[in-house]
């Protein structure tokens, strides 16, 4: 369960989040959608304890990230890049993260297998393609077998087969009871993957609900999105 409760944030003297509130529930994929600069990454960074809000609370399983006793076993996060040092192999990176979180080495081979990187495990992260880096980032997020997944633009850099694989993986995770929250620019992709949608624009949630409710009387999620946000004015999307 993820709870974002009236989160506000000011950066460099400018308000970037205004009382943002929503929930992402277990067993569902929740899509977090918004134009460039809407506040998606800022919200996810607060949720993951990388930034502090000026007001409100962001909770994972009822607690702020910083108060989780074993964060990697509660929430797996995929933000920019893989998080691995360029000179480290995928296997060495994962072993290092596993060891520093008290997780067994055996889990490293399991997550490499899940994300399809077993054959590339001994390659250096610096030699990985963008898509391979996303897979390594996801493998790291999965090390603790967390019940919550938070992913910022997870299909960025993936080829069509990779996109389909990611979609199926996220749907299967939700089917097993995980809470999955992902941001994406790709409305078609979100419409295929998400059960619930939150649309944020200029730091404010403009609509949230089940995919069918948000799409409402519009033909597609993209039409609904364009009608709801400044992007319809040929803006920043
Ligand atoms: N360090 C910072 N200092 C000042 N302003 C910032 C900083 N980081 C982000 N912002 C501003 O906060 C707003 C929200 O940015 P954020 O990155 O959260 O948006 P986003 O929805 O993730 O956008 P994108 O889809 O382009 O990644 C933007 O107006 C951005 O310029």
Residue 192 confidence (pLDDT) above 70: yes
Length of the chain: 237
Residue % of the chain over a pLDDT of 90? 76
pLDDT at 237: 43
Task: Give the residue, out of 16, 54, 81, with the most ligand 1 atoms within 8 A of its beta carbon, to mutate for a pocket test.
Answer: 16
Minimum CA distance residue for ligand 1 atom 28: 37
Q: Is 10 in the pocket of ligand 1 (CB under 6 A)?
A: no
pLDDT (mean) for 102-125:
95
Taking the C-alpha atoms of residue 143 and residue 137, their distance in angstroms, rounded to an integer, is 10
User: Which homologous superfamily is 2-74+146-231 in?
Assistant: P-loop containing nucleotide triphosphate hydrolases (3.40.50.300)
**pLDDT over threshold 80, residue 51:** yes
| Token digits of residue 144 | 């603790």
202 lines ligand 1 (CB under 6 A): no
Q: What are the boundaries of each domain within the chain?
A: 2-74+146-231, 87-145
User: pTM for this structure?
Assistant: 0.93
Q: How far apart are CA 125 and CA 89, in angstroms?
A: 6
The confidence band for 185, taking pLDDT boundaries of 50, 70 and 90, is confident
Evaluate if residue 83 carries a pLDDT over 90. Answer: no
The mean pLDDT of 151-169, rounded to a whole number, is 90
Mean pLDDT of 89-101: 95
**DSSP readout, 102-149?**
T--THHHHHHHHHHT-GGGTTSBGGG--HHHHHHHHHHHHHTT--SEE
Q: How sure is the predictor about 236, in pLDDT bands with cuts at 50, 70 and 90?
A: very low
Say if residue 176's pLDDT is above 90.
Answer: yes
The reported pLDDT for the residue numbered 230 is: 58
In this predicted structure, which of 51-65, 91-105, 221-235 has the lowest mean pLDDT?
A: 221-235
């Amino acid at each position: 369960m993820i709870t974002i409760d009236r989160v506000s944030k000011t950066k460099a003297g400018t308000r970037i989040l205004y009382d943002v509130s929503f929930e992402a529930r277990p067993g569902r994929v929740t899509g977090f959608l918004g134009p460039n600069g809407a506040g998606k990454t800022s919200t996810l960074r607060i949720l993951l304890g990388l930034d502090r809000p000026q007001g409100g609370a962001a909770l994972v399983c009822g607690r702020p990230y910083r108060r989780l006793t074993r964060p990697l076993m509660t929430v797996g996060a995929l933000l920019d890049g893989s998080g691995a040092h360029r000179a480290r192999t995928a296997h060495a990176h994962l072993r290092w993260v596993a060891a520093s979180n008290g997780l067994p080495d055996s889990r490293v081979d399991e997550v490499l297998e899940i994300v399809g990187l077993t054959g590339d495990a001994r390659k250096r992260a610096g030699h990985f393609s963008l898509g391979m880096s996303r897979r390594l980032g996801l493998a790291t997020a999965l090390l603790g077998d967390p019940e919550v997944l938070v992913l910022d633009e997870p299909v960025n850099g993936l080829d069509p087969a990779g996109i389909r694989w990611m979609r199926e993986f996220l749907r299967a995770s939700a089917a097993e009871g995980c809470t999955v929250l992902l941001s994406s620019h790709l409305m078609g992709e979100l419409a295929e993957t998400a059960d619930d949608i939150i649309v944020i624009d200029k730091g404010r949630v403009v609509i949230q609900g089940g995919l069918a409710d948000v799409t409402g009387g519009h033909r597609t999620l993209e039409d609904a999105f364009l009608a709801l946000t400044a992007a319809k004015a040929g803006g920043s999307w």
